[in-house]
Structure 1
């Protein structure tokens, strides 16, 4: 009989879409329940599904996780994150979008308590700790998810 066991295939990169959901000078963050980055604060988001646009993924993930609908998305940046020191290797190409809640008065709900401890609005100048390391790396680099001041646009 032939040996049917074969080595596990090597891990492959996956695409994640995450959203800087902004309200005033605050950003929505949730505390992760995950083998990768457990108990760190992260943006809402998740895996891109086959055939889905970044915008569709962002809207779906934000609503699945928080119950919030979003208004308009804008591509901010893309990062390449390789997790080698976690329980299992992972490689994510992460697409970061910016959006605002469709109804600013609506508060987020924790719709996936098995994946998140809860959601909250945090002032960009006073973020909680610890941040999920890809987000922390962006913050330390001086990245700012907020659009330029409207008055700057009026000068053109």
Structure 2
């Protein structure tokens, strides 16, 4: 058993910001996973709801406003470099207003809109794990294989570390 295995997990929030059928992703440059693409997001603060955190993080990182926020699912990941376990709560929302800007240049080189069917690579670990898991269970959940259909549905797909649907 590793020393960090008994530490409490860090709770993060990842935000899928949709504009039409495009998703906003940023090129990550911080230490956890350099040169990959991530959704806006960050750590959940004490006494903060997941939705409030999602709204705050999008504004702090990009300067834009979002609307129609809803829970999408979660991932359970171990980051060996940071020696931390992360539970990432995913929120889906729609772009509302504002100009996308890089407001945390120490963490993100740029923001870019991508067609959801042609996402860049590599993706940040929680994103790639979530996409792999929704694809793996797509036969039992009709909309799960299509990220945009999942965003538009009322379903919440929760992904356990083993890949089983909850």
TM-score normalized by the length of structure 2: 0.77
Flag the structure with higher helix content.
2
Residues 79-94 of structure 1 aligned to structure 2 (within 5 Å): 79-84=75-80, 86=81, 88-94=82-88
Distance 1:123 1:29 in 2: 10
Task: Specify the structure having the higher radius of gyration (Cα).
Answer: 1
Distance 1:126 1:116 in 2: 20
Q: Which residue of 2 aligns with 1:146?
A: 151
Distance 2:85 2:22 in 1: 29
Match among 49, 52, 61 for residue 45 of structure 2: 49
Structure 1: unaligned runs, 5 residues or longer: 1-6, 149-156
Q: Which residue of 2 aligns with 1:102?
A: 96
Contact residue 26 and residue 110 of structure 2 kept, 8 A = yes
Distance 1:81 1:132 in 2: 11
Distance 1:94 1:136 in 2: 12
Q: Does 1:126 align with 2:118?
A: yes
Q: Which residue of 2 aligns with 1:152?
A: none
TM-score normalized by the length of structure 1: 0.81
* Number of matched pairs: 137
Match among 29, 32, 36 for residue 33 of structure 1: 29
Q: Which residue of 2 aligns with 1:24?
A: 20
Contact residue 27 and residue 122 of structure 1 kept, 8 A = yes
- After superposing on structure 2, the runs of 4+ consecutive aligned residues of structure 1 that deviate more than 6 Å are none
SS of the residue corresponding to residue 146 of structure 1 reads: helix
Contact residue 11 and residue 89 of structure 1 kept, 8 A = no
Structure 2: unaligned runs, 5 residues or longer: 136-143, 154-166
Deviation at 1:140, TM superposition (A): 2.8
Deviation at 1:55, TM superposition (A): 0.8
Deviation at 1:14, TM superposition (A): 0.9
Deviation at 1:50, TM superposition (A): 0.4
